[in-house]
Amino acid sequence: MAVTEKRASDQKQASPDIPREEKKSRFDLRALLETSRLLIDSHDAGFILNNLLLISMGKIMASRAAILWFHPVRNEHTVLMKKGPFKTETTLRITRKPFKNRNTVFCDEFEELRPLCDQGISLLVTLKSSERHLGFLALGPKAGGKPVSPEEIEILESFAFMSGIAIANSELVGELKKTNRRLDYKVQELYTLFDLSKEFNASVDRDQITRLFKFTLLGQLFVRRFFLILNRPDKPMLVSWNGLGRVLNEQEMRDLFTLEKDIIMIDDRVRSKLPFLAEMQIHLLLKLHNDGGDPAIIGLGKRANGLDFEQTDFNFLISIGNLALMSIQKTYLLEDRIEKERLEEELHIARTIQQKLLPDNVPDVKGLDVAAKNVPSYQVGGDYYDLIRDERGALTMAIADVTGKGVPASLLMANLQSVLHVLHPFDIGMEEATGQINALIYQNTPSDKFISFFWGRYNPDNGVLEYVNAGHNPPLLIPGRGNPQLLTEGGVLLGAMPTLMPYKTGTVRLKPGDILVLYTDGITEAMNQSGEEYDETRLLEFVSENRELEPEALIEGIISDVKSFSSDNIGDDLTMIICKKA
């Protein structure tokens, strides 16, 4: 018994009496610390406000409490949550004038706040963060009608202040989470774009590229209805589409490129202008401008997940659209290159064949110096010349200009060459032979193809040249003495019409020193930068001033003079035969 009394005496000495007010203060401080830890650790605004209500009601023994949340745009407060039997209206307009110098007010102290008393609100405590007003903690009367002490008000304000900081912290954490989600989404987009770029660049199959574009829209953005149109130089092309119900016609596609903005949300104004967009349920248009390439436009329906398109979606769509566009244009460029190489190979073959049609060497003719040359303006030209000597030493000379250029002209030239060589051995007059050539050309060529043709037979024994001019530039006969002469006798162009009237034969006798110049219109129609033609007068003057030259040198001089006159801008073949009587 003595030991027990001694322990009690020792405990009493070790724990001196603590005043009741100090114990209460220590309890309140401990409650504040625990509450602050609870609120700050929470990132849930609903949890924070709910605990604020419960703690506040428990502190002053109030039977009802509410959170009045402030909406700055509407400048009003709404009841966000409440506890106990409240008659409070959903929306409240609370003047903040009484709170100018204080954080807590009793509603019955201010005339403008007394209507709140009728709704069961006795006390308002400001709820705010460090940057903005959040609302109020509204409390009903204290149990038993007792007044709320200054110490209790101080505690309530501390709870409200901590709750405001905790809410601001939760909002910050929420924004950080949203930012992290957006960053994660952007990283995913970048990975997707990186993978897509490898897929697009690795493919030269246009169908595969458009399928990849289609599946990206379906799987990544949940777009089920779309189209991709490429505005090619000749006409717009629908290169990819899905869920439209029908394909767009050419005029509808052209109309889309008349829209000015690059990002177009389809509204009533656009639908009235382009009603087919409403029919196809297109919600958004994006224009693509590939650097130096053909423009394109993407049309998109609404997303299957119901979400609206955001700016990040626009950027992603434009990126994958440009990737697809560049890859699709690459396929066209590749096709164009293959086609160009194929045509170049065909032209090379045709040029080789054409060169075989021209004489390899100029034949020797007694008493006559002869030279000839063909300079095509394109890889395959439409000019033709020929020099054929028979067993008696006579020379048949021919020059022609076939309409057009390239392979068709080469084929027509081959026809003329074959007919001429077939008829040459036969001893028939030039009038009849020319008529037969015309008939064959007319029957075997389209109506828009014809040939200007001159040919003659020179007899070295008497120096006589018989000729027929079928619509060709009249050759120039420049005598050693006297005036120049144009060789014009003949008839119509070859292939222009049937041989209804016989061709006429002209005859001239070449004398020593005479120069005969046969040429195609590429010589006389060559233009300078002023649009002035070289013409027959310049040709005649050049030959007259340089008549002492040999025919080969004379041809080289004329061609050089034509090129200099036109600044090397040759638009047609240059073909000449020059004969000089010894």
pLDDT tens for each residue of 63-73: 889 999 999 88
Confidence band, pLDDT 50/70/90 cuts, at residue 234: confident
Pick the most confident of 82-86, 216-220, 433-437, 568-572. Answer: 433-437
Burial class (CB in 10 A: 0-12, 13-18, 19+), 53: buried
Bin 245: left if φ > 0, else alpha if -120 < ψ < 50, else beta.
left
pLDDT over 90 for what percent of the chain? 35
Residue 13 has pLDDT above 80, yes or no: no
Residue 162, classed as helix, strand or coil, is: helix
Q: Which residue has the tokens 């745009």?
A: 73
Closest CA to 209 of 322, 50, 73, 375: 322
Q: What angle do CA 185, 190, 196 make, to 5 degrees?
A: 125
Residues 228-253 have a mean pLDDT of: 89
Bin 135: left if φ > 0, else alpha if -120 < ψ < 50, else beta.
left
Residue, of 381 and 564, whose pLDDT is higher:
564
Q: H/E/C letters for each residue in 378-396? A: CCCCCEEEEEEECCCCCEE
Alpha-carbon span 540 to 576, nearest angstrom? 14
Closest CA to 35 of 166, 168, 135, 171: 166
311, 319 contact by CB (below 8 A):
no
Residue 52 has pLDDT above 50, yes or no: yes
Q: What is the pLDDT of residue 95?
A: 78
Residue 233 has pLDDT above 60, yes or no: yes
Residue 443, classed as helix, strand or coil, is: helix
Q: What is the pLDDT of residue 545?
A: 94
Q: What is the pLDDT of residue 23?
A: 46
- Span 153-199, pLDDT tens digits: 888 888 888 888 888 888 888 777 776 766 666 666 666 666 666 66
Show the tokens assigned to 175: 């924004």
Choice among 29-43, 144-158, 447-461 with the minimum mean pLDDT: 29-43
Residue 101 has pLDDT above 90, yes or no: no
Residues 275-282 have a mean pLDDT of: 92
| Residue 354: CA count within 13 A, CB half-sphere | 27
Residue, of 9 and 526, whose pLDDT is higher:
526
Closest CA to 579 of 553, 551, 559: 551
Show the tokens assigned to 278: 């409403």
Alpha-carbon span 226 to 228, nearest angstrom? 7
Residues 356-364 have a mean pLDDT of: 88
Q: What is the pLDDT of residue 179?
A: 67
Choice among 30-34, 324-328, 429-433 with the minimum mean pLDDT: 30-34
pLDDT over 70 for what percent of the chain? 86
User: Whole-prediction pTM value?
Assistant: 0.53
Q: What is the pLDDT of residue 378?
A: 62
Alpha-carbon span 524 to 561, nearest angstrom? 11
Cα–Cα distance list, 481 to 179, 218, 508, 569 (Å): 99, 88, 15, 35
| Architecture of the domain made up of 360-581 | 4-Layer Sandwich (3.60)
Residues 516-527 have a mean pLDDT of: 95
256, 284 contact by CB (below 8 A):
no
| Architecture of the domain made up of 19-173 | 2-Layer Sandwich (3.30)
CA 510 to chain centre: 67
Alpha-carbon span 304 to 307, nearest angstrom? 8
- Span 481-496, pLDDT tens digits: 889 999 999 999 999 8
Residue 323, classed as helix, strand or coil, is: helix
Bin 152: left if φ > 0, else alpha if -120 < ψ < 50, else beta.
alpha
| Architecture of the domain made up of 203-333 | 2-Layer Sandwich (3.30)
- Span 16-26, pLDDT tens digits: 554 555 544 55
328, 336 contact by CB (below 8 A):
no
Residue 461 has pLDDT above 90, yes or no: yes
Domain ranges in the chain with CATH number 3.30.450.40:
19-173, 203-333
The count of other CB atoms within 10 Å of the CB of residue 519 is 27
Residue 426 has pLDDT above 80, yes or no: yes
Q: What is the pLDDT of residue 7?
A: 38
Pick the most confident of 208-222, 392-406, 549-563. Answer: 549-563
Q: H/E/C letters for each residue in 60-105? A: HCECCEEEEEEECCCCEEEEEEEECCCCCCCEECCCCHHHCCCCEE
Q: What is the pLDDT of residue 379?
A: 57
Q: What is the pLDDT of residue 4?
A: 39
- Span 377-425, pLDDT tens digits: 765 667 899 999 998 899 999 999 988 776 777 778 888 888 898 888 8
Domain ranges in the chain with CATH number 3.60.40.10:
360-581
Residue 251 has pLDDT above 90, yes or no: yes
Q: What is the pLDDT of residue 190?
A: 61
Closest CA to 351 of 315, 381, 308: 381
Q: DSSP string of 255-319?
A: HHTT---SEEE--HHHHHH-HHHHHTT--EEEEE--TTS--EEEEE--BTT-PPP-HHHHHHHHH
Averaged pLDDT of the chain: 84
Cα–Cα distance list, 192 to 186, 187, 286, 323, 365 (Å): 10, 8, 20, 12, 79
Residue 435 has pLDDT above 70, yes or no: yes
Show the tokens assigned to 32: 């504040």
Phi, psi (rounded to 5 degrees) for 523: -70, -55
Residue 325, classed as helix, strand or coil, is: helix
Alpha-carbon span 460 to 108, nearest angstrom? 139
Alpha-carbon span 231 to 257, nearest angstrom? 8
